[in-house]
Structure 1
């Protein structure tokens, strides 16, 4: 049993494809970021070849675990002795890796992975309608994305235009319009990979919260993800936010696994 690493997504898929496809929902974070990852890794099982665990490392030095045995997490040593600045994944492997390194760390977020069962849109529907985002929406959506990133502890960026433009061009970003035509909320979905798509970037303008707009736009994006061919539609929620957890349950999402995000400190 050992770790293997590559920078080539094709080689990664050749080695770890069956493992990724076996549980696409639990591997969603790896599947949706592997094309832009700085490093990809897989843990081989007792036969020395079959992948039984996976990870990706981002250019910002954040490590993300997919489905991964605790023993593999504890045995992980990155190439050239690299040390991640942050880590996220299912709770037990994250804690095992952190303990094995002996480095001090602090929790950043507790999140829960949900998978869609039967979509149950809000009834009655919130006022307004969903529509695909447009290029003209970019300035507003850029402000919303920056606020979303700050609230959820993501690394700050000077410009989210490329991130948003890609999703707009592929009809993967929706907004909810109030009856007067103003965009009041947004939600996005990942590309469908290995039969799964992840809903993300769910955000409502602060002055518009409490009106059901997040439920409306999340239902619209979830429906679009299923229509794109995703057999499994998933999302993450903040465990510290009971409102969002309750919202997604009402829409038909069911819990899969709890995740932990940590940041390594200097002590």
Structure 2
């Protein structure tokens, strides 16, 4: 039993692909990141090279994976218990600013290292889509290139709001427009909310970002946009539609539950001091 590391995304996809596709809901972020690194280049998330890893059982089967796009925390799949401290050992010589992993694995990975707790998230999968009742005023439409300036501003605001500002927002917007992956909610002739979804991967689509400007909140627009984006994912043939929520945001957790999303697992991010 051991970890193997590589900087080759194609080798990682080849070795770990079957493991990831066997649980596409739980591995949604890995599948999306692989697609983005292939389509947008290895430096889509930063100037440093990403690296990847997998944990093999004694029979040679892959039973866990990791991925880092520096400077972001190392992302881990669900892991066998013995793979958690082993991961800390194999990464000891690398600059690891933090980790994102199953909530219950944090203590075993950190051991006696000091860390600052970061965002705790909950993965949800769609059960039965239940549109908001009453429906918000307005209607949904796909965003187009004519909306680019608005979308760039809103996505920058979103990243600032979650404390993860990015410099590549125009490229992110262009990428999602290229697959018609941004849904706008329109009211009184103007966009008031957006929901962004991933490309299909292993039969799964993820709702990535939902944003309503602060001055336009509490009118149901986010529910309308999310419902429309979810329906668009189903219309594209997604067998699973998933999303993450911030566990410290009871408003969004309650909204997505009303729309038909149900909890799957909780994750935690920590930053090492």
Structure 1 length-normalised TM: 0.92
> 1:150-204 CA distances to partner (integer Å, 9 max, x unpaired)?
22122x22341000111012101111111x2211111111111112111011111
Aligned length: 260
SS at match of 2:5: strand
Name the residue aligned to 1:177: 186
1:128 maps onto 2:138 in alignment: yes
**Is the 1:126–1:211 contact (alpha carbons within 8 Å) kept by the matching residues of 2?**
yes
Confirm whether residue 45 of structure 1 aligns to residue 62 of structure 2: no
Asked whether the 8 Å contact 2:117–2:271 carries over to 1, the reply is yes
Contact preservation (8 Å) 1:113, 1:237: yes
Say which of 215, 232, 255 aligns to 1:247: 255
Unmatched runs of 5 consecutive residues or more in structure 1:
none
**TM-superposition CA deviations, 1:56-85 (whole Å, max 9, x none):** 101324211122223212111446811321
Moved more, 110-119 or 84-93: 84-93
Pick which of 104-113 and 56-65 moved more. Answer: 56-65
TM-score (norm 2): 0.90
- State which of 225, 229, 233 in structure 2 corresponds to 1:217: 225
1:15 aligns with 2:15: yes
Which of 163-172 and 60-69 deviates more?
60-69
Q: Is the 8 A contact 2:13 2:34 kept in 1?
A: no
Partner of 1:137: 147
Mapped partners of 2:142, 2:18: distance in 1? 34
Deviation at 1:86, TM superposition (A): 2.3
Per the TM alignment, residue 34 of structure 1 is displaced from its structure 2 partner at its CA by 2.2
Calculate the aligned-residue CA RMSD, in Å: 1.6
Counterpart mapping for 1:70-149 below 5 A: 70-76=81-87, 77-78=89-90, 81-99=93-111, 102-149=112-159
Q: Using the alignment, how far apart are the partners of 1:87 and 1:153 within structure 2?
A: 16
Stretches of structure 2 that go unaligned for 5 or more consecutive residues are 43-49
Mapped to 2, the partners of 1:159 and 1:25 lie a distance apart of 26
